[in-house]
Every structure is written in structure tokens, then in C-alpha cells.
């Protein structure tokens, strides 16, 4: 348990170790950092992580190469920071609100809807969410950083699987394996980061509705869902 | 239509342009090439595409660096060849058998089952299928190669979406958007390449059964599925 709490604190600890020069008012710093993470993630996705230099990122963000080093110490630290940025947003927007829901079915709906909306909100017009896509770039991390990111992913998997087990105990889950069901939901959700176009024919809200229907329909018993209508 | 046929022939044309020295009997060459593709995909996934050298691949395959150039001309050609290798297997094992099925529901089941089994068959003990995962490495391709791979992916999407539309016409599809449903199915299936462990508690056949239940349950009307039991 202590280990998990430490994992969660990691991004904050890390932010403190970054040299954050006052290039702008203190109040605006988090947004500037967020912007760097988002733009860097996009460049990494387009060029590939290893082929991207810190100069490429500085150019894209619109600051000097020296300027970028005021925010991050190295490309490897930047990759880790982007992953934690993504996981922090997941924590704030999906995990924390979901944990606050006692009813398992409503908690599952919260997870699916909020995660889908979070991914679509960060999707570029090019048709992908660079922060979510980059979350797969585990090969670029140091072993220590990789373990930390993996632990955060595992905590989320545990939340989802525990929710499915609770639904099983309540007789609401179909006869499906909870691990396969959990990863199937993740696959559906995370794939959104690779195909959703913000200027496509469906709005983010409509896509979230469709995904909720498909996801819940795939794993909950029909009578339960009919009863809820 | 001509364009599409050309796209499909691309891998064969490419194989011919590769210098294939007779290091082994002609009959064994395809397997040797398959082995190189599979091992190279694994190394690319572990180290990252850009960080991997042809020497790394030669070492992993167990031949000299000069030896590897008898099979492929460059790292970029190798990446394209691996993607086509994956798409060729998809064509043989999933697309062609599915096209032969006239009934839309049975065709959908064929797509889900066969694609799930194909991914799991190629999954390493480390818990991922390197060929499927590498299929995302679009940044490493030349623009021409990228278009060809994209076209092959699009053809598969069209097959799945046409199948869902046929199911909609037959009144078997739930009230779900067919594009969201198609990508949701792809997400579920393709994510298998990142979590399925061949030595886990469920066999590939069991996972395929679960995925079929979840996928079909998510998009087909309950009465249809009940009637089939």
C-alpha cells in the first residue's frame, strides 16, 4: 500500500526536481508545461521517439533549445513526465470520480464515459491523441520509470476488474471472464486515441454514448440493461 | 479497384526485389524470412524502431550483419516488409475466410474469432505480439509505404463496416453507430496483442470464446443472440 502511495506521488516529486525557470507568471506555469507535454507527445508520435531531438521539440513549442531545458532535464525525463501527465489526468478525470461512486454499474459507466471523453478531448485534428498513443512508448523509459508507469496502469486495471467482480457478485455480469472483459474495455477505449477525429461526423458526446452502449451491452446481462431504461 | 488490387500485390512485388541469397533450400526460405520478420519485430518493440540497428537484428536472428542484407535492403524496407507480413497473414487467416461467408452474423463471428486467434498465436511469452504491435509504427515508413499499409488497413475496416451494415439491414444490429462499433471491435481485438500471455490461465481458445461473447453481445440485439443458442 505504501508503495502505491509513493507511485502516485512520483509526478509531483518529479515536477519539483525539474528546473522551472520563471519564464512566465507562476500561475501560468502548469499550462505552459502541459503545452510542452502535449506538443512533445505529438512530435514523438509523428517522428518516432528516438528520431526526435530536443531541438525538434523546442522548435515545435516555439522556444529556444536552452529554453526547453529550463522545463525538463532530458528527453528520457520528458517521456516519463508526459506519461505521468497523462496518468495524472486519468486520475483526476476518471479514477478519482469513479472511486467516489458506490454502485458498481454506475462506477463502470463513469469509467467508460469519462475515459472516452478524456481521450477525445485531447485528440488532435490529425485524428489521434498523442498523449494516449505515447503511453505505449515503454521502451524509451528507464527500468525504474517503467516500473512506476506500469504500477499506475496496474492500479487502474485493478479498479476496473474490481468493479466487474462486484457486478459479478451482484449477478449483473454476463458469464464472461473478468480479465478478458477488463482488457476488452481498455482496448475499445484506448483505441479511440487512434481513430477519433474531432471534426468527424459524430461529436465526442455522441461517441461516448455509443461506446457506453457497446461496452455495457457486451458485458452486462440484457435484463439488467433493459431494467435501467 | 485496380488501385486496391495493386496494393494487395505489393508484398509479393517487394519480396521479389529483395535479394534472397540461397542460404538454405528454396523450400525453407519463406520460413526463414518469417522468422527474421518476427524476431526483428520483437527487437523493434523492445528497443524502439529508431534505436535498433541492423546489427541488433542480425545478432538476434543469429546470422551475420552481411547475412541479414541478403534478405532485406534496409531497416525501412524491413519495417515495411514486417507490416506486409502481418497484413498477409491477416488476409490469409481472417479476411479471405470471412469474405467466403455469405451470412453477415457468421462472417462477423469469423472475423472476431480468427483475428483473436491469429494475434494470440503470434504472442510472445513476454505478453505481446510484436508483429501486431509494430503495425502501429507508421512514423518509420516512407510516405509511399505508409499509403500502401494504410490502404490495406482501410480495406479491412471496410469489410468489417460492410458486415455491420448488412447486419443493420437485417435488423440484427443494436442502435449503434457502425463506425464506432467497427473501431470498438478493432480496439478490443488489437489490444489482445498487448496483454495476452500464452502461459496465462486461459487458453487462446477460451479467450477467443470470451471475446466473441463480449464483442457480439456489445453490438447485436439480445433476441438475435438468444435465438441462436
Which tens digits make up the pLDDT trace of A181-219?
Answer: 999 999 999 999 999 999 999 999 999 999 999 999 999
Whether the complex's predicted ipTM surpasses the cut of 0.90 = no
Q: Which residues of chain A make contact with B219, given a CB cutoff of 8 A?
A: 214, 217-218
A219 lies within 8 A of chain B by CB? yes
Q: Which residues of chain A make contact with B50, given a CB cutoff of 8 A?
A: 48-51
A43 lies within 8 A of chain B by CB? no
Q: Which residues of chain A make contact with B217, given a CB cutoff of 8 A?
A: 174, 217-219
Higher pLDDT, A208 or A49: A208
Cβ distance of A207 and B46 shorter than 8 Å: no
d(CA A184, CA B187): 8
A55, with CB counted inside 10 A (0-12, 13-18, 19+), is exposed
Q: Which alpha helices (H) appear in A18-71, and where do they start and end?
A: 29-47, 54-61, 65-68
d(CA A76, CA A66): 17
pLDDT of residue A15: 37
Cell of residue A170, nine digits: 451482484
Cβ distance of B218 and A218 shorter than 8 Å: yes
Cell of residue B137, nine digits: 509504427
Cβ distance of B214 and A49 shorter than 8 Å: no
User: What predicted TM-score, i.e. pTM, was given to this entire model?
Assistant: 0.82
Backbone angles phi, psi at A163, to 5 degrees: -65, -40
d(CA A191, CA A189): 5
pLDDT in tens, chain B (229 residues): 333 333 333 333 333 333 333 333 444 455 788 889 999 999 998 888 888 999 999 999 899 999 899 889 999 999 999 999 999 999 999 999 999 999 999 999 999 999 999 999 999 888 889 988 888 888 889 999 999 999 999 999 999 999 999 999 999 999 999 999 999 999 999 999 999 999 999 999 999 999 999 999 999 988 655 555 4
B138 lies within 8 A of chain A by CB? no
Strand-pair partners of A220? A173
How close is the nearest chain B Cα to the Cα of A214, in Å?
4
d(CA A95, CA A20): 28
How close is the nearest chain B Cα to the Cα of A42, in Å?
11
Q: CA B186: distance to chain centroid? A: 11
pLDDT of residue A101: 98
A146, with CB counted inside 10 A (0-12, 13-18, 19+), is middle
Cβ distance of B139 and A188 shorter than 8 Å: no
B209 lies within 8 A of chain A by CB? no
Q: Which residues of chain B make contact with A48, given a CB cutoff of 8 A?
A: 48-50, 137, 139-140
Number of A–B residue contacts, CB under 8 Å: 119
User: If you search the block for the grid coordinates 461529436, which residue do you land on?
Assistant: A203
> Between the CA atoms of A141, A143, A144 and A146, what dihedral angle is there, to the nearest 10 degrees?
50
Amino acid at each position: 500500500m505504501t508503495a502505491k502511495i509513493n507511485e502516485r506521488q512520483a509526478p509531483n516529486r518529479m515536477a519539483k526536481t525539474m528546473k522551472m525557470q520563471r519564464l512566465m507568471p507562476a500561475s501560468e506555469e502548469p499550462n505552459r508545461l502541459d503545452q510542452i507535454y502535449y506538443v512533445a507527445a505529438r512530435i514523438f508520435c509523428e517522428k518516432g521517439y528516438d528520431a526526435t531531438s530536443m531541438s525538434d521539440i523546442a522548435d515545435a513549442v516555439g522556444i529556444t533549445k536552452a529554453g526547453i531545458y529550463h522545463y525538463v532535464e532530458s528527453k528520457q525525463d520528458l517521456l516519463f513526465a508526459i506519461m505521468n501527465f497523462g496518468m495524472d489526468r486519468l486520475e483526476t478525470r476518471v479514477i478519482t470520480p469513479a472511486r467516489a461512486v458506490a454502485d458498481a454499474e454506475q462506477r463502470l459507466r463513469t469509467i467508460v464515459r469519462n475515459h472516452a471523453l478524456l481521450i477525445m478531448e485531447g485528440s488532435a485534428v490529425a485524428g489521434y491523441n498523442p498523449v494516449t498513443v505515447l503511453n505505449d512508448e515503454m521502451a524509451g523509459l528507464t527500468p525504474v520509470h517503467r516500473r512506476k508507469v506500469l504500477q499506475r496502469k496496474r492500479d487502474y486495471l485493478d479498479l476496473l476488474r474490481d468493479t466487474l467482480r462486484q457486478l459479478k457478485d451482484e449477478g449483473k455480469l454476463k458469464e464472461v471472464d473478468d480479465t478478458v472483459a477488463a482488457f476488452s474495455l481498455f482496448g475499445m477505449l484506448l483505441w479511440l486515441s487512434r481513430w477519433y477525429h474531432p471534426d468527424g461526423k459524430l461529436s465526442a458526446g455522441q461517441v461516448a454514448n455509443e461506446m457506453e452502449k457497446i461496452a455495457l451491452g457486451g458485458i452486462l446481462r440484457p435484463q439488467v440493461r433493459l431494467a435501467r431504461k
